[in-house]
Amino acid sequence: MNTILECKNLSKSFGSTKALDGINLTIEKGRIVGLLGPNGSGKTTFIKICNELLTPTSGEVRIKGFNPGVETKKIVSYLPEKTYLNDWMKVSQIIRFFQDFYADFIPEKAYDMLKRLNIDPNSRLKTLSKGTKEKVQLILVMSRDAQLYLLDEPIGGVDPAARDYILDTIISNYNENAAVILSTHLIADIEKVLDDIIFLKEGQIVLNKTVDEVRDESGKSVDALFREVFKC
Amino acid sequence: MLAKLLKYELKATARWFMPLYAALVLFALISRFLLYNDPFVKNEATGFLQIVRILSMSVYVFLFVGIMVVTFVVIIQRFYKSLLGDEGYLMFTLPVQTWKHIMSKLLIAMLWNLSSAVVGLCSIMLLIPAQDLADFGLLFTGIKEYFGTMGYFTILLFMLASLVFGIIEMYTAIALGHLFRKHKLLASFGMYIGLNTISQMAFILIVPFFLNTIGSLSEPLHITPGRLNTLILITGIIFAALAAVCYIVTNIILKRKLNLE
């Protein structure tokens, strides 16, 4: 069983607008997949359905054979595009929180990354800047030994130096038994870490290829191809 | 996992209540000292002392009302913010069943409700003159007189059931309001009024039916402790049943219709 995530005819509507429209998709382990598309193309909706934060209108998602639920949450590590940190804990307390709830959480890894990014484990979450909060969230998410990482805009809000460190972390965290799906519109920055790319447009997959295929077939970088496909 | 949720829920809420409880007891003690301590009273309260007394009592009343408001607000805020706000992204991606999230919120909300009541009552006892304390005892003997020993049990059960319903009713209203795409807060408020109406209807429809079995309507209703207890028990059971329905509805909404935006 190499398949980690499988989508069949997945659709989601909000009222009359279709956010996702008949998505069919298979993601295998060991891959780093870029979910790319302009704003409102359905990237976040897709990731939220995989985390049971939204319920699909029709179709289904299976992660390691399970529909999103308690079983999948044990093996999926999710970074939302929102700040979900509460305002009363210290950084060290939220690490303890993750340790309490996720069997695959490795606190040493988290403390190591905090040190690298100069974040004091004793500071209160409330007092952190927005960028630092995002870093803390990413540290929490990457400190799990999960089988599927779903990262929604992991580098959107952080400075370029931290961006490089985060991408390095994602690559160095590479595990042949895990898959990473990350959504972004900052394509040039992440192109070098991706194995596969999926272009989403108005809730539909318009392209699903490996990065090598894109380069061989079109002779263009992913960034250039994206600009061409989504030309306004 | 429920134990862990309870632990964090308790931690998240204790930081509100503990300082307030401490302050309330402190100001009850200060006020008691200023009110009953002989040296002050004998010396014909000076204007200054009078002002201090009034100040201390005002702070006490302010804290007392504050605790009631905070207890109410925290019930709503912990459910809304921690499950349906941005923090919901964290809570609902934990490998925990939805019903446990609701249960942890409910149990901790009950705990603070009860402790606020106990602390409030204790602070009042600190303030009233010692000879009047005996009146509190009358309350308990009164229950025994009218309801019999069973009364302690049925009244406690009734109070617990109505407390559970009071809390879960608000959760259900918030969850129902969350189903709306716009004006969620307004919708929640409307849902609360709706739920209240439905629950009152339930009482109006069900209770008279039992009144008939307690004593026939044709003969004058003779009130006995047994009949009173049965009536209280029935209302308690209705509250418990309504609470169970609300719990199930809330669970279904959060499990199948969750739409965090």
Identity of the highest mean pLDDT range in A77-81, A163-167, B101-105? B101-105
Q: Give the tens place of pLDDT for each residue, B128-174.
A: 887 777 777 787 788 878 778 888 888 999 999 999 999 999 999 99
Pair (B104, B136) in one structural domain: no
- Sorted by sequence, the CB contacts under 8 Å of residue A166 that are 6+ apart come out as A135, A138, A154, A155, A158
Q: Test A101 with B88 for CB contact under 8 angstroms.
A: no
Pair (B112, B140) in one structural domain: no
Q: Test A53 with B89 for CB contact under 8 angstroms.
A: yes
Q: What is the mean pLDDT of the segment spanning B102-121? A: 96
d(CA B146, CA B228): 8
Residues of B in contact with A88 (CB under 8 A): 11-12, 15
Q: Give the tens place of pLDDT for each residue, B37-86.
A: 655 555 555 677 778 888 989 999 999 999 999 999 999 999 999 999 99
Contact B155, B229 (CB under 8 A): no
Q: Which of A184-193, B50-59, B107-116 has the lowest mean pLDDT?
A: A184-193
**Is B222's pLDDT higher than 80?**
no
| A35 three-state secondary structure | strand
Q: What is the mean pLDDT of the segment spanning A196-217? A: 90
Per-residue pLDDT band for B219 (boundaries 50, 70, 90) equals low
Residues of B in contact with A100 (CB under 8 A): 4, 8
Q: Choose the final residue of a domain: B128, B147, B181.
A: B128
> Distance, in angstroms, between B68 CA and closest chain A CA?
22
Residues of A in contact with B92 (CB under 8 A): 51-53
| Length of chain A, in residues | 232
pLDDT of residue B168: 97
Q: Which of A21-25, B19-23, B204-208 has the lowest mean pLDDT?
A: B204-208
pLDDT of residue B79: 95
**Looking at residue A122, which CATH number applies to its domain?**
3.40.50.300
Pair (B91, B192) in one structural domain: no
Count of Cβ atoms closer than 10 Å to residue B106 Cβ: 20
Pair (B256, B140) in one structural domain: yes
Burial A21-36 (b: 16+ CB within 10 A, else e): bebebebebebbbbbb
Q: Choose the final residue of a domain: B95, B128, B161.
A: B128
Pair (B137, B223) in one structural domain: yes
Q: Which domain holds residue B80?
A: 12-128
pLDDT of residue B41: 52
> Distance, in angstroms, between A210 CA and closest chain B CA?
29
Q: What is the ipTM of this complex?
A: 0.91
Pair (B79, B193) in one structural domain: no
Pair (B154, B260) in one structural domain: yes
Pair (B179, B74) in one structural domain: no
In a domain, B2, yes or no: no
Q: Test B92 with A83 for CB contact under 8 angstroms.
A: no
Q: Which of A20-24, A107-111, B72-76, B220-224 has the lowest mean pLDDT?
A: B220-224
In a domain, B7, yes or no: no
pLDDT of residue B43: 56
In a domain, B32, yes or no: yes
Q: Which long-range contacts (CB under 8 A, 24 or more apart) does A119-122 make?
A: A119/A91, A120/A91, A121/A90, A121/A91, A121/A92, A121/A95, A122/A90, A122/A91, A122/A92
Q: Give the tens place of pLDDT for each residue, B3-33.
A: 999 999 999 999 999 999 999 999 999 988 8
d(CA A10, CA B200): 43
The chain B residue lying nearest A141, using CA atoms, is B90
Q: Test A55 with B88 for CB contact under 8 angstroms.
A: no
pLDDT of residue A164: 83
> Distance, in angstroms, between B171 CA and closest chain A CA?
18
| Beta bridge partners of residue A79, listed in sequence order | A151
Residues of B in contact with A14 (CB under 8 A): 181
Rg of chain B over all Cα atoms, to the nearest angstrom: 23
The chain B residue lying nearest A90, using CA atoms, is B12
Q: What is the mean pLDDT of the segment spanning A102-129? A: 93
Per-residue pLDDT band for B214 (boundaries 50, 70, 90) equals low
> Distance, in angstroms, between B139 CA and closest chain A CA?
41
The chain A residue lying nearest B96, using CA atoms, is A70
Number of Cα atoms under 13 Å in the Cβ half of residue B23: 18
Q: Give the tens place of pLDDT for each residue, A141-181.
A: 999 999 999 999 887 777 888 888 888 888 887 788 899 99
- Sorted by sequence, the CB contacts under 8 Å of residue A170 that are 6+ apart come out as A32, A142, A149, A151, A154, A180, A182, A193
> Distance, in angstroms, between A45 CA and closest chain B CA?
9
**Is B231's pLDDT higher than 90?**
no
Q: What is the mean pLDDT of the segment spanning A194-209? A: 91
Q: Give the tens place of pLDDT for each residue, B232-244.
A: 898 999 999 999 9
The chain B residue lying nearest A70, using CA atoms, is B95
pLDDT of residue B45: 56
Pair (B213, B184) in one structural domain: yes
Residues of A in contact with B4 (CB under 8 A): 100-101
Residues of A in contact with B260 (CB under 8 A): 48, 53-54
Number of structural domains in chain A: 1
